[in-house]
A = this chain, B = another copy of it.
């Protein structure tokens, strides 16, 4: 077990003071190029690794940001983190990743841990439980402490002080509704995952608004609320089927519900799109090869990661502190899970 090398060791070895070594290694001015090079070589030879605890204790800088995800099993974060990683790596920043697991207590533990670890900023998608419980107080506290925070995907609607990158959730559902109406659908349902979650609540609002706007019939039974755990999606669909109360189309509100809806339909012998059209949420690679290929609402997930982390670095380094709210648009990716009822009708007329 080799001993840990410090700048003191290097200083002795090179016959200079620790101050000089520090300056040489940290790239600060005040050392001759000649000497700097020598010191760098010695450091390399000795296998020196800087002690960031010491540096961050001294400078209060860590070149590190904290990223909190709400559920690490959600493939959403694969693209999101790729976006984040891309911008951070190129700027020399690293990140701590934590999984709040949709649990406010866990979120608090991790948030504190990150700040204790001296992160220079935080990227978070805050949890909100059914009863309205959230960590908003902790976010407020950190805001007051001057820790840059950018919220992504989810936000606290009433807290104007936080910057955020979200999509226009309401609009995404309204777009879906318009698309469906154009395809001749009038009886449309929506399946929601865990209630309380910001994005899900917004999507529900979009559904209600959209139905009014487009003069679509609105039935409470066609809304699948709080579909958690997994079997609830199957149960709800079965119930609609049993009561012969199936809408012609159902909108899923996340990628999990999309998959559950497809597999439930399969089990119940409901043909997609003949018996039921499905509008998926999130464009995952498998949407292409599911049967039928899934028409879906696509969020610019990679972009969310890219923009949120760029904004955060802006706050950190350029002291850009006014709260900015970026709202991106989702788009519809057309595949084969939605039937065109207009064509079906004209076909009947012809025969």
Contacts and interface: CB of A to CB of B under 8 A. Distances in A.
A1 B144 contact: yes
A168 interface: no
Contacts of A73: 78-79, 82
Contacts of A285: 259
Interface stretch (A43-51, A125-133, A152-160, A246-254): A43-51
A89 B94 CA distance: 21
Interface in A50-73: 50-54, 56-57, 62, 64, 72-73
A95 interface: yes
A289 B286 CA distance: 9
Contacts of A115: 49
B49 A57 contact: no
Interface string A85-119: 10001000011111101000010001011011110
A51 B47 contact: no
Contacts of A292: 291
Nearest to A72: B81
B1 A145 contact: yes
Q: How large is the interface on A (under 10, 10 to 19, 20 to 34, 35 or more residues)?
A: 35 or more
A89 B106 contact: yes
Contact of A94 (B62, B98, B146, B288): B98
Interface in A330-344: none
A161 interface: no
Nearest to A147: B1
A78 B284 CA distance: 14
A260 to B, nearest CB: 9
A66 to B, nearest CB: 10
A314 interface: no
Contacts of A52: 53, 116-118
A259 B94 contact: no
20 contacts: A1-B145, A2-B146, A50-B116, A51-B57, A51-B116, A51-B118, A52-B53, A52-B118, A53-B62, A72-B85, A73-B78, A75-B75, A96-B96, A97-B97, A259-B289, A263-B288, A289-B290, A289-B291, A290-B290, A291-B291
Interface of A: 1-2, 4, 47, 49-54, 56-57, 62, 64, 72-75, 78-79, 81-82, 85, 89, 94-99, 101, 106, 110, 112-113, 115-118, 141, 144-146, 259, 262-263, 266, 284-286, 288-292
Given A2-B146, A259-B285, A259-B286, 18 more contacts: A1-B144, A49-B116, A51-B118, A52-B116, A53-B57, A64-B117, A72-B78, A73-B82, A75-B78, A94-B110, A94-B113, A262-B289, A263-B288, A284-B286, A286-B286, A286-B289, A289-B291, A290-B291
Closest 8 CB pairs of A and B: A291-B291, A53-B56, A286-B286, A97-B97, A1-B146, A53-B57, A53-B53, A262-B289
